[in-house]
Amino acid sequence: MDFLSTTFYFIIAIFILVTVHELGHFLFAKLFGMRVDKFYIGFDFYNLRLWKKKIGETEYGIGAFPLGGYVKIAGMVDESLDTDFQGKPPEPWEFRAKPVWQRLIVLAGGVFMNMVLAALIFIGMAGVFGESRTSTVNPAFVEKGSVYD
């Protein structure tokens, strides 16, 4: 039974970490006016999904393969796989149309959100499980004839 509960909590922890990480990319992309086509936890290889819902321009979903997650941002292309964009001017909502500093923040957004989550977990654990210590008396300052003498 310990193996099952450990596995369950491990899967929940990974799900939370991946969600927070991908949320970082998603939020910063939206902040800078980029169009986000997909937000998935888990991968949807061969269109196998556990759940999906389209809200506005973004399709949210949980893929059937729980190996990570992804955010598909319009205009973020891999030149080695996709050559359709060549010769076309970038649209204003595309990743490739944004300044380098905005693209860098979007790419670093996942790591930033993981660090925020780690800080919140640390603060929460310190607040709940932290030790309180009473101050000790320094013998150098004890008076002769006092209780501590």
Which residues are marked as active site?
Answer: 22
* Distance separating alpha carbons of residues 13 and 2, to the nearest angstrom: 16
* Dihedral sign computed on CA atoms, order 122, 22, 56, 85: positive
Vertex 102 angle, CA 98 and 104, to 5°: 115
Region of 46 on the Ramachandran plot (φ > 0 left; ψ -120 to 50 alpha; else beta): left
Do 33 and 93 form a contact (C-beta atoms < 8 A)?
A: yes
